[in-house]
Amino acid sequence: GAGVSQSPRYKVAKRGQDVALRCDPISGHVSLFWYQQALGQGPEFLTYFQNEAQLDKSGLPSDRFFAERPEGSVSTLKIQRTQQEDSAVYLCASSLYTSRNSYEQYFGPGTRLTVT
Amino acid sequence: GQQVMQIPQYQHVQEGEDFTTYCNSSTTLSNIQWYKQRPGGHPVFLIQLVKSGEVKKQKRLTFQFGEAKKNSSLHITATQTTDVGTYFCAESIYNQGGKLIFGQGTELSVKP
């Protein structure tokens, strides 16, 4: 079946521009996560949704970052007034929220954001 | 906050040699997951370990969870060029929706 998809795959933004990154999770997956991956580093947690509820946004680096998932499926990560330090790959992952021991996450291909 | 340390950062091996990456935590881990990320790709789930001292095998890959649940290792026997990529360990934080706390990863290159 279809996996997690993200768009755009690549985005170049001038410093100060706003960007919107889209994630389509696997159908039926209740949980959705956003991670930021800098070059040569492991992914770092940004925010988590269970259905349409944003239950954890503790990883968002500043109030310029905003995420939503209004209907509990597609999610958008918005970055306002982009800065060079925002350059990274933004990964979306979804998981089937079932039991305590079923937290395998399925990652999308990511959006590589370059701020110039 | 939680932190998972992973070593080495890079490992270059000749095809056919073995490879091991280690994950360490100063606090007890509730579980450990391993992911593989091919160059230019995204993380792909390999396995989850939950029990103290647990050992799981997948063909040439052997995963271990320490007795104290503070460390884990991934060992690949007789590496192949298809093993190239970065291997990450991560803890899934169950009471926070399962969010993953990743180690820094070990990048494996295999010379044919």
Average pLDDT of the residues in A3-22? 98
pLDDT in tens, B56-111: 999 999 999 999 999 999 999 999 999 999 999 999 988 888 899 999 999 999 99
pLDDT in tens, A15-63: 999 999 999 999 999 999 999 999 999 999 999 999 999 999 999 999 9
Query: B34, B47 in Cβ contact below 8 A?
Result: yes
Give A 12-31 residues with CB within 8 A of chain B: 31
Distance from CA of A37 to the nearest CA of B (A): 10
Contacts (Cβ under 8 Å, ≥6 apart) of A66: A60, A77, A78, A79, A80
Residues of A in contact with B97 (CB under 8 A): 31, 33, 48, 50, 55-56, 97
| Position A98 pLDDT exceeds 80 | no
For residue A99, what pLDDT band results from cuts at 50, 70 and 90?
low
Nearest CA in chain A to B90: A42
